[in-house]
């Protein structure tokens, strides 16, 4: 069997680099990547030229502009514009160059703010989104619908098979530890670590600490992504709907932000107090994915949250000076 030529968009990010690790472990070595300096994914003509030259047979779209509540609130125009452009440029250029298989990575924030929990795939577009990340979520929904629309129009005539997965909140190697633009786990790890080494008495956390969140180690997400990409086509089509084709990827476990903060505090060994700033937004009250579909297809996560956090903190300490 000839191994496919695979392009990973966003290979330097947490998700993209994890997908590469999993692919290589499975013997897929014909992998192509481009840094932002080598290929600006916002530039339509350059993306098309790249596909014209390289002719990959599979594409994983892990490239995106991402951030937490702060950055989503501060830069809404950039979040919607850049993500729409990245997705549209890659998907159409891939189609123009006869790429048959694409896996698009979305996010759990695509689902309505008050969706019934745990959130099934079919609740998409049934209610209002969380306002703080609505621009990002709308871009990700558009990415799903791009894949579905190309399948509906060109699935039979061109044999295209474009799929989407929706990971829950991810953490792991390659995460962003920026003081303002990070997600909750890397943000808490950095804050507690710095408070420990500076011998601070308190660590302040945005919000009430009450929202519930689900977390998944990025290596589990990568295993799930490769699993879905290589799932038998008939099995995939029989398990999804052509206008609701995304598959959730989650751990199935949830924890309050307060419980998470206490767990990270204990792993790091910070002895001070935790203060919750209730004047800051909480975001969605609860975000738990229904993972029945992917579990029934044969995938389950391997890394528990506490073990995953211990591994992440161990790696963070070794690289702290770089952040």
Instruction: Let me know if 146 is exposed, middle or buried by CB neighbors in 10 A (0-12, 13-18, 19+).
Output: buried
Is 171 one of the annotated active-site residues of the chain? no
At 210, is the secondary structure helix, strand, or coil? Answer: coil
At 116, is the secondary structure helix, strand, or coil? Answer: coil
DSSP state letters, 147-170: HHHHHHHHHHHH--EEEEEEE-EE
Closest CA to 260 of 201, 302, 209: 209
DSSP type of residue 181: T
CA–CA distance, 141 with 169 (Å, rounded to integer): 17
DSSP type of residue 247: E
Residue 231: alpha-carbon gap to chain centroid: 20
Catalytically annotated residue among 111, 136, 171, 177: 136
215: its two tokens: 């977390």
Q: How far is CA 83 from CA 61, 104, 167, 285, 306, in A?
A: 11, 12, 16, 25, 32
Q: Give the residue numbers annotated as catalytic, written as ranges.
A: 136
């Amino acid at each position: 069997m000839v191994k496919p030529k695979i392009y990973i968009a966003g290979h330097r990010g947490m998700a993209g680099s994890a997908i590469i690790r999993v692919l290589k472990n499975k013997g897929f070595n014909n992998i192509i990547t481009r840094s932002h300096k080598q290929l600006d994914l916002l530039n339509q003509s350059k993306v098309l030229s790249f596909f014209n030259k390289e002719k990959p047979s599979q594409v994983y779209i892990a490239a995106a502009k991402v951030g937490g509540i702060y950055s989503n609130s501060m830069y809404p125009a950039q979040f919607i514009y850049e993500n729409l452009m990245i997705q549209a440029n890659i998907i159409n250029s891939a189609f123009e160059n006869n790429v048959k298989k694409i896996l698009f990575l979305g996010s759990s924030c695509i689902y309505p703010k008050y969706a019934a929990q745990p959130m099934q795939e079919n609740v998409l577009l049934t209610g209002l989104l969380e306002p703080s990340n609505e621009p990002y979520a709308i871009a990700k929904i558009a990415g799903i619908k791009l894949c579905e629309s190309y399948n509906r129009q060109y699935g039979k005539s061109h044999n295209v098979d474009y799929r989407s997965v929706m990971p829950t909140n991810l953490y792991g190697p390659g995460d962003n530890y920026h003081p303002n633009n990070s997600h909750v786990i890397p943000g808490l790890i950095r804050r507690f670590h710095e408070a420990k080494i500076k011998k601070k008495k308190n660590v302040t956390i945005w919000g009430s600490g009450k929202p519930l969140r689900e977390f998944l180690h990025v290596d589990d997400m990568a295993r799930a992504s490769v699993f879905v990409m290589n799932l038998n086509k008939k099995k995939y089509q029989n398990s999804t709907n052509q206008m609701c084709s995304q598959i959730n990827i989650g751990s199935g476990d949830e924890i309050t932000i307060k419980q998470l903060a206490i767990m990270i505090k204990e792993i790091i060994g910070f002895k001070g107090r935790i203060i919750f700033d209730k004047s800051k937004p909480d975001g969605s009250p609860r975000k738990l994915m229904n993972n029945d579909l992917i579990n029934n297809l044969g995938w389950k996560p391997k890394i528990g949250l506490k073990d995953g956090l211990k591994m992440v903190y161990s790696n963070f300490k070794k690289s702290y000076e770089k952040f």
